[in-house]
Amino acid sequence: MDIDKIDRIIDKYHGEASSLIQILLDIQSENHWLPGEALARVSEVLDVPLTRIQHIATFYKAFSLVPKGRHEIHICMGTACHVRGASRVLDSVQDLTGIKPGETDLDMKFSLETVNCLGCCALGPVMEVDGKPHGKMAPARAIDVLKNYE
């Protein structure tokens, strides 16, 4: 990520340290992760210690310090989804993508995570791709959904 993009994001918030989390969210959205050079630039411009920024970036699950795929898959493993077969959905997604939860495939297409709840228990099992929930998943349907993402 180039310095100009980082500076534009920081300028959008008038260089205020009180907007640190939103600045990091915007960088994450733009880049799919928080590169070290971006954190260093934010630290320098906002005059916030790099260790504080790293603490925030590692505390919140929304942030990633490693590259993520273009499409982020979240599979709910909460009770309602689990009893309706979420583990079979997860198995089929792992077989299709070749990755396990917490990993990104080599061509940077997909990142896979499991979550405890997506807040739509009545639709379980639920798989979310790029923030869009897909309910009443079955293994074959999950594969069909993922084939629509390039």
Domains defined along the chain, listed by start: 3-59 (no CATH), 71-146 (3.40.30.10)
Structural tokens at position 144: 């069909």
- Alpha-carbon gap, residue 134 to 74, rounded angstroms: 10
pLDDT digits (tens, 9 = 90+) for 46-95: 999 999 999 999 998 889 998 889 999 999 999 999 999 999 999 999 99
- Alpha-carbon gap, residue 99 to 41, rounded angstroms: 32
Q: What 3-state DSSP class applies to 22?
A: helix
pTM for the model stands at 0.77
- Tell me what the mean pLDDT of segment 13-30 comes to: 92
